[in-house]
Amino acid sequence: RLLMYLRLLAMYASAFVPVAISLDRQAAILRPLAITRARRRNRLMLHAAWLLSAGLSVPQLFLFRTVTLRPPHNFTQCTTRGSFAQPWHETLYNMLGFSCLFLLPLLIMVCSYTRILLEISRRMGSGLFFSRDVSLRCSRNNIPRARLRMLKMSLVIVSSFILCWTPYYLLGLWHWFCPRAMERSVSPALAHILFIFGLLNACLDPITYGLFTIPFRRRWGCPCGHDPEPQPPSTVTGSFRCSASSL
C-alpha cells in the first residue's frame, strides 16, 4: 500500500510542479511589478503542489490490499480486487485520476504559456518596449529574441509532457475499458517501461528551463576568446531570470 501511495504521489508531483512553474512564469510577465513577492508566491505554490499530490494519493492506502491465490498459483499480489462495488466505480476513479494527472495540468500549462506569448506580442505591437524610458535599459533586438526563446521553451515543455505521458495514459485507457484485450496484447513489462518513460518528464523539465534561461554564452564567454558585450536585462528576460531563481 505504501509503495502504491508513493507511486501515485510521484505521478502527481511530476505533473503539479511544472504547473506551478508555468504559473510563476505567467505572473512574472503579466505582473512584473510584483516580482518582489515572487519568492513567497512560489513557496506557497510548491507547498500546494506537494500537499495536493499527497492528499490526492491517499485513496491508494485504502483501495489496495494483498490478495493470495491458492494452489495451483500460490502467489500474493497487492491489487484493488474487491475494493470497488461495481466495475464502473473503478473506471470512474481511474478517469478522475487521468483528468487530474494529465488533462488538467496540460490545460493549465497551455493556457499559461499562451497568455505569456500573447502578452509579449501585445507589448511589442504597442511599442511599449521601444519608449524613451525603456530604451536605455534594453535594446530593440532583445524583445524579439526573448519572444522566440519563450516560444521555443513553451513548445518544448508542453511537447515533452505530451510525449512522455501520452503512451502510458493511452495504454491505461485501453486497460480501463478493455482490460482483457489489453492483457492479451501487451506484456506487463511494457506498461512498467511506459510508466518510467512518463516520469522522465520530471527529469527533462529542469534541463529545459536551464537551457532556455541560463545565459551560457555570457557566463562562459565566446569560443574566440573575446568576452561578449554585456547587455542589460530587458523587462522580459530579466523577469524570467528573477522568477526562475526565486523558484
Closest by CA position to 29, among listed 103, 96, 129, 97 = 129
User: In this predicted model, which residue has the larger pLDDT, 72 or 8?
Assistant: 8
Mean pLDDT (the chain) is 78
Q: What's the confidence (pLDDT) of residue 68?
A: 82
Residue 54, burial from CB neighbour count under 10 angstroms (0-12, 13-18, 19+): middle
Q: What's the confidence (pLDDT) of residue 240?
A: 39
User: In this predicted model, which residue has the larger pLDDT, 168 or 227?
Assistant: 168
- Do 129 and 234 meet the contact criterion of CB atoms below 8 Å apart? yes
1-125+144-213 belongs to which homologous superfamily?
Answer: Rhodopsin 7-helix transmembrane proteins (1.20.1070.10)
Rounded mean pLDDT, 70-75: 76
pTM of this prediction?
A: 0.73
Band (pLDDT 50/70/90 cuts) for residue 69 is confident
pLDDT at 128 over 60: no
Rounded mean pLDDT, 35-57: 90
User: In this predicted model, which residue has the larger pLDDT, 223 or 29?
Assistant: 29
- The CA angle 19-6-76, to the nearest 5 degrees, is 145
